[in-house]
Amino acid sequence: MKHFLRETITRAGEMSLEYRRRLKTLEVLRKSRNDLVSEADIAIERYIVEAIRRAYPRHAIEGEESGSVGGSEYRWIIDPIDGTTSFVHGQPYYSISVAVEKAGEYVLGAVNAPAMGELYEAQVGAGAMLNGEPISVSRTADLSDSVMSTGFSCIRFDHTQNNLAYFNALVPRLRDVRRYGSAALDLSYVACGRLEGFWELYLKIFDVAAGFLIVSEAGGRWGDFHGRKEGVCQEVLATNGLIHEQVMELFASVDRQIQQAE
């Protein structure tokens, strides 16, 4: 299964690069006012889904564009292009994310960033890798020495509870902040030590499933802002583990301020 995933997500990355070479003629649609889907998203997901159906016909599939198919203890979770806005603007910060879940536990995951030639992989209990080499989270233990990333889909989709309060509280405590536009890539950067942490609100399981496993297998920690893993997509916090409690304490103080203001 691991080799199948590697081959499939590598070919999917090659497809994305083929579409990227003709961005000026690429068909781009709107799923909603601010949410884009390109013909590349649709074609790449179709390729991955068909490959899984041939190799593992009894497995369930959860695709961002095609929805749920089948029922099994195994479920494949697919985001054909995480960071479509970056992709259609010709930026390299997009990825293809595929995770395998067995009986509710992530057991296999891969994130391919083809424009940068990077393939992140993880298997439960076997560690995480970047281009075949083992990776691990950073050893930075202080927020003042940390670089974190975030995103603002909550604002794009007009959520009244958005990321600005958390952003304003946390950023002055950090060395710096980044905005890449692909949660799967953000999580992979935490796993390989380029970032100490990542947080965002209102994500989807497709965005984070593979990244969660990669972070865990690299020695990091993930959950919601309170440390829980149930319903985590509403609040995602992933770190190297060493700064996790510091960030949760700061976010808890933000929550108290929000509640007092209501």
**Of 79, 114, 135, which residue sits at a domain end?**
135
Residues 204 and 241 in one domain: yes
Average pLDDT over residues 8-22: 96
Q: What is the CATH number of the domain that holds 44?
A: 3.30.540.10
| Residue 259 confidence class, pLDDT cut points 50, 70, 90 | confident
Average pLDDT over residues 72-81: 94
How far is 243 from 259, CA to CA, in rounded Å? 25
Backbone angles phi, psi at 152, to 5 degrees: -135, 40
**Of 86, 116, 135, which residue sits at a domain end?**
135
Residues 129 and 235 in one domain: no
Residues 54 and 11 in one domain: yes
Q: Using an 8 Å Cβ cutoff, are 59 and 39 in contact?
A: no
For 248, the domain range is 143-261
**Of 90, 107, 135, which residue sits at a domain end?**
135
Average pLDDT over residues 70-74: 84
How far is 85 from 76, CA to CA, in rounded Å? 24
Residue at token pair 């990333």? 149
Tell which wins on pLDDT, 14 or 33. 14
pLDDT of res. 134 = 98
Least confident stretch, 59-68, 86-95, 201-210: 59-68
**pLDDT tens string 200-220:** 999 999 999 999 999 999 999
Task: Write the DSSP symbol of residue 234.
Answer: G
| Residue 26 confidence class, pLDDT cut points 50, 70, 90 | confident
Least confident stretch, 20-29, 57-66, 137-146: 20-29
pLDDT of res. 258 = 84
pLDDT of res. 222 = 98
Residues 122 and 186 in one domain: no
Q: Using an 8 Å Cβ cutoff, are 114 and 228 in contact?
A: no
Q: Using an 8 Å Cβ cutoff, are 194 and 238 in contact?
A: no
Residues 121 and 158 in one domain: no
**How far, rounded to the nearest angstrom, does the alpha carbon of residue 56 sit from its chain's CA centroid?**
24
**What is the residue type of 37?**
V
How far is 186 from 89, CA to CA, in rounded Å? 18
Quote the radius of gyration of the chain (alpha carbons, Å): 18
pLDDT of res. 223 = 97
Residues 112 and 160 in one domain: no
Residues 190 and 234 in one domain: yes
**pLDDT tens string 96-128:** 999 999 999 999 999 999 999 999 999 999 999
List Cβ neighbours of 90 (8 Å cut-off, separation of 6 or more): 20, 23
64, with CB counted inside 10 A (0-12, 13-18, 19+), is buried
| Residue 64 confidence class, pLDDT cut points 50, 70, 90 | confident
**What is the residue type of 38?**
S
Annotate 32-97 with DSSP letters as a single string.
SSS-EEEHHHHHHHHHHHHHHHHH-TTSEEEETTTEEE---SEEEEEEEEE-HHHHHTT-S--EEE
Identify which of 237, 163, 167 has the alpha carbon closest to the alpha carbon of residue 195: 237
Residues 175 and 88 in one domain: no
Q: What is the CATH number of the domain that holds 238?
A: 3.40.190.80
Count of domains forming the chain: 2
Residues 123 and 154 in one domain: no
Residues 118 and 53 in one domain: yes
Annotate 106-134 with DSSP letters as a single string.
EEEEEEEEGGGTEEEEEETTS-EEETTEE
